[in-house]
Amino acid sequence: MPYSHHSHSGQFCGHAKNTLEEVVQAAIAKGFHTFALTEHIPRHLEDFYPEEDKTHTEETLVRLFDDFTVEAARLRGLYSAQINILIGFESEWIRPTTLTIIRDLLARYTFDFFMGSVHHTHTIPIDFDKATYEKAREKAGGTDERLFEDYFDSQYEMLQALNPPVVGHFDLIRLLSDAPDAEFKQLGGVWKRIQRNLEYISSYGGILELNSSALRKGLAQPYPCLPICQMFLGMGGRFAMSDDSHGIDQIGTNYARLLAFIHQAGIKQIYFAEPTIPKQDTRFPNASFSSIAVETLTQLPFWEKHQ
């Protein structure tokens, strides 16, 4: 009965598939214990993706997120006896006004937790396609190394501003780089930034997401890669599992490979969020997390369906 802290649906995300209820039903059918609904936050017009330019305005994206919270609450009530549903969101960190959007959401709604992610550097998407990645790289100075440095600097700003309970796809920046499976250790300036960011996450008790989507996108290791996981583990860092699914076909994808990676990294405990009692001050929610020993996790019947 594993866990995922990161998912999207075609009902509320233009580059995903299926309704939110279909996603929940598929997670139940695949034997998930905990499944988080974490749609993207609304964004300003200049930060729309191509599919959104044709179908949305800033106002309709806000209404879409409103509708998501209502539907997520309905589904939690409907399926609570079958699965532990978490309601959250995935942040962005694009420009200074993004922080205002996030704070407005945290003030308006009660979430179980949220995923702190970075998908942009110099306001340009770095995981959308190769062309936009190269545009961001050129703006950073023309090399992957310089773009990596800027990405982890932006991530550090996000971490300091939000203290996210879970940090999403920590090293997403490597996805479209020239050598996506190369380790960062040989890049001195990049590695120092990675260490700084991990130390900060550890200092406030944040959890790193082990994100299996890197595997379905052709990378050899999940996010974050092995050296980063081992460094964070040495700091006493904690880890949670995610599939970052964008539709029912991706739920639990490559989880057997993710479990093998967990063993390879030497991780002994996996953490999972639990719904929280609503607080009076929800600006900076901090979910309650429990843990399961990896040895126990490995013995669960779930893996019979996910070889």
Split at pLDDT 50, 70, 90, the class of 280 is very low
CA separation, residue 281 to residues 105, 140, 167, 276, 278 (Å) = 12, 38, 21, 13, 9
Q: Which two tokens stand for residue 6?
A: 């990161």
Joined together, the tokens standing for residue 230 give 């081992």
pLDDT tens digits, residue range 16-50?
999 999 999 999 999 999 999 999 999 998 998 77
Q: How confident is the model at residue 11 (pLDDT cuts 50, 70, 90)?
A: very high
Distance CA 167, CA 116 (A): 5
What is the Cα–Cα distance from 170 to 148, expressed in whole angstroms?
12
- Structural domains in the chain, CATH included, are 3-39+51-305 (3.20.20.140)
Average pLDDT over residues 151-162: 97
